[in-house]
Amino acid sequence: MTDRFYLGEFEQVVLLAVARLAGDGYGMTVRREIERRTGRAVSIGAVYATLDRLERKGLVSSREGESTPERGGRARRHFVLERAGAQALRRTQRMLEQMWADVELGAPRKAGTS
């Protein structure tokens, strides 16, 4: 894996949620954390699809956790941020900051006159 790749938007969001939850991150908490902070409805399927991808890239890792009756006896899967994940977040953040530096957007341009 090269050092020169940046995270997609939803990947960042999910990684940040895992980071915020600091060890208490599993599917349900990650999903809720994103919904609460972004105000955006997020489906559990999208969360898992992204977590799977992040895990394959080595940015997060997961372990099987406890199962409870209200889960129908199904085990939790806990996710924690890996070093590579933290680096990827930093790198993306730096990249964005560099891109944002000194940007003046002004008033939004009116819709096209093509």
Partner 1 sequence: MSRPPRLAEWLLARSAHPDDRAAMLGDLAEEYAERGPDARRWYWGQALRSIAPNLAARFAPSRHLDRADDPGAATTMQTLGTDLRYAVRTLRRNLAFAALTAATLALGIGAATIVYSVVDGVVLDPFPYPEPGRLVGVGPEYPRLGRELSFWEVISPAEYLDIRAQSRTLERVVAWDMGNRQIAGESDAPERVFSAFWYGDAFPTLGVAPALGRGFSAQEVERGERVAVISHRLWLRRFGGDPGMVGRAVSVNGDPYTVVGVMPPRTLVYGTDLWLPMWATPEQVPRDARQFQVLGRLRAGATLAQANAELATIARRVEQAHGAEFKEYAGWRLVGRTWTDINVSMLRPAALVLLGAVGFVLLLVCVNVASLLLARSAGRRREVAVRAALGASRGRVVRQLLTESVVLALLGGALGAALALWGTTALAAFLQTLPLPIPGDVRLNPRVLAVAAGITVAAGILFGLAPALEVTRPDVQGALKSDGGGSIGSARRHRMQRVFVGVEVALALVLLAGGGLLVRSFLRLQRVDAGFDARGVLTMRLTLPREKYAPAAIAPFFQQLAERVGAVPGVRAVAFGSQFAPMTFQRAQLEIEGRDAAREGQLPVAFLTQTSDGYFRALGVPLRRGRVPYERDGDQAQPVAVINEEAARRLFPGQDPIGRRLRASKTGRWFEVVGVVGTTRNAGLDRPPQPEVFSSVRQALGQNNQLFLLVRADPAAGDPRRLLPLVRREVRALDPDQPVYAVQTVEEAFATAAGPRRAATLTLTLFGLFALALAAVGIYGVVSYAVSERTREIGVRIALGARAGQVRRLMVRQAMLPVALGAAAGAAGAVALGRAMGGILFEVRGSDPLTLGSAVALLGAVALAASYLPARRASRLDPVAALRA
> Rule CB under 8 A: which residues touch partner 1?
1-2, 26-28, 31-32, 41, 43-46, 48-49, 52-53, 56-57, 67-68, 70-72, 74-77, 111-114
Question: Do the Cβ atoms of 54 and 60 come closer than 8 Å?
Answer: yes
For partner 1, give the closer residue by CB, 4 or 83. 4
For partner 1, give the closer residue by CB, 43 or 98. 43
Closest to 55 measured CA to CA, from 95, 25, 100, 91: 25
The least distance separating partner 1 from the CB of residue 104, rounded to whole angstroms, comes to 26
For residue 98, which phi and psi values (nearest 5 degrees)? -60, -40
Single-letter amino acid, residue 86: A
The least distance separating partner 1 from the CB of residue 41, rounded to whole angstroms, comes to 8
Matching residue, tokens 């919904």: 35
- Round to whole Å and give the CA distance between 87 and 47: 21
The least distance separating partner 1 from the CB of residue 35, rounded to whole angstroms, comes to 11
CA dist list (Å): 86 to 64, 75, 93, 113: 22, 26, 11, 44
For partner 1, give the closer residue by CB, 26 or 88. 26
For partner 1, give the closer residue by CB, 75 or 96. 75
The least distance separating partner 1 from the CB of residue 107, rounded to whole angstroms, comes to 17
